[in-house]
Amino acid sequence: MKKKLLVGLVITAGFFAGCGQKQETTTTKATPMWDKSCAHCHNGNMAVTKDTILAKHKDKEQFLNAVKEFVSAGKMPPNLPYGQVADELYK
C-alpha cells in the first residue's frame, strides 16, 4: 500500500518536471503571427531564429530594413505580414 503511493508520487513528480522543462525552452513572449508565418523557415537551420533576429536588430526599423533586403534579394517571399510580425516582436 505504502509502496504504491510512493510510485504514484514519483510518476506525478516526473510528469510535472517534464512540463516545466518544456516551458523553459520558450525564451521570449508569445508571437502567434511569427509562429504561423515565419517559424517554419526561421528554425535555426534554414534561416536564423527569432532570438537571433531580436539580438541583431534592435528596433522595428532595423528589422524591416533587413526584411526588405532579403525579400528583394529573393531569399524571402514578399507577401508575408512583416509589418504585423514587427509589431508583435518589437512592442
Give me the residues that bind ligand HEC (CB under 6 A), please.
37-38, 41-42, 47-48, 53, 56, 63, 66-67, 70, 75-77, 80-82, 85
Least separation in angstroms between CB 45 and ligand HEC: 9
Least separation in angstroms between CB 87 and ligand HEC: 11
Give the residue with the Cβ less far from ligand HEC, 9 or 61. Answer: 61
Give the residue with the Cβ less far from ligand HEC, 32 or 70. Answer: 70
Give the residue with the Cβ less far from ligand HEC, 14 or 83. Answer: 83
Q: Please tell me the distance from the alpha carbon of residue 63 to that of residue 84, in angstroms, as a whole number.
A: 12
Does residue 80 contact residue 38 with C-beta atoms inside 8 Å? Answer: yes
Q: Please tell me the distance from the alpha carbon of residue 53 to that of residue 60, in angstroms, as a whole number.
A: 11
Does residue 64 contact residue 42 with C-beta atoms inside 8 Å? Answer: no
Q: Which three cell numbers stand for residue 30?
A: 508569445
